Copies of this chain bind each other. A is one copy, B any other.
C-alpha cells in the first residue's frame, strides 16, 4: 500500500525513477576587488551557446564530493581548498522534464593559483557577479543561493583562506571581504575583529610595496 522503502538501494518499484545525477560547482574568486564566478560556455545542446555553472555526471565509483573536486580541478587546476555542499535541486532543467537531480557545491579559489582550462569548446571564464550573462537552465537561482551562503559563511568561519595566497596583507584580506559582502568596511574594526577570531595570525614578515610604510603579512592559522 505504501511505497515505504527507507532508502533501500536494492528495492525497485515500477513507479520509481532513476534520474540522472549531476554535480554542479559554483566556483567563486575575488579579482580586482570584484566577486566573480566561473562559468562555462556550452558547446552542445541543450542550451547550446549559453553560459552555465560547471558540472557533470558522476563517474562510476565516485562519491559526490570526489565528483565535485574533480570538476573543480578540471576547470581551475586547483585542489585542496574550500569546497562545501550547497543544495540539491530537483528541477534545474524543467524543460527536459526528466527530473534530473543536481547536487550543487560551492568552492572558493585563490586567483593567483587558479589556471583556467584553455579549451575553445566549453570554455571557462570568470564573470563578475553583477554582470552575469544569460544563464542556462536555472543557474541564476543556484548562484543566488551560493552567494547568500558565502556571505554567511564568511561571518563565522575562516573560509576566506581559500581565496588568498598563504600570506597576505590586512588590506588584501579586507578587500576580499568587501567584495563579498558588497560594502566597505572600517579598517580598524575589521582588523580587530579578524584578529579576535583567531583565524589569522601575524607573521614576522613585512612587504614593502611602494613609497609608503611596508605592510605586515598575515597567514591563516587553521590547522597550521
Interface residue? A185 (CB, 8 A): no
Interface residue? A111 (CB, 8 A): no
A40 touches B122 (CB 8 A): no
List residues of chain B with CB within 8 A of the CB of A102: 7
Interface residue? A19 (CB, 8 A): yes
Given A40-B4, A85-B87, A101-B103, the answer on whether A10 and B54 have CB atoms closer than 8 Å is: no
| Segment from A42-50, A126-134, A168-176, A189-197 that makes contact with B | A42-50
Interface residue? A28 (CB, 8 A): no
Chain multiplicity (copies): 2
Size range of the chain A interface in the assembly: 35 or more
Q: Complex: how many Å from CA A218 to CA B17?
A: 45
> Looking at A4, A47, A87, A99, which has the most chain B CB atoms within 10 Å of its CB?
A4
Interface residues of A (CB under 8 A from B): 2-13, 15-22, 24, 40, 42, 44-47, 52-65, 74, 85, 87-93, 96, 98-103, 117, 119, 122, 136-137
> Could you pull out 14 A-B pairs where Cβ atoms are within 8 angstroms?
A2-B74, A2-B122, A6-B24, A7-B93, A7-B137, A8-B44, A9-B96, A9-B98, A9-B100, A12-B20, A18-B18, A58-B90, A62-B99, A90-B103
Q: What are the 7 tightest A-B residue pairs by CB atom distance, in nearest-first order?
A: A64-B90, A16-B57, A9-B100, A7-B22, A5-B56, A7-B55, A88-B88
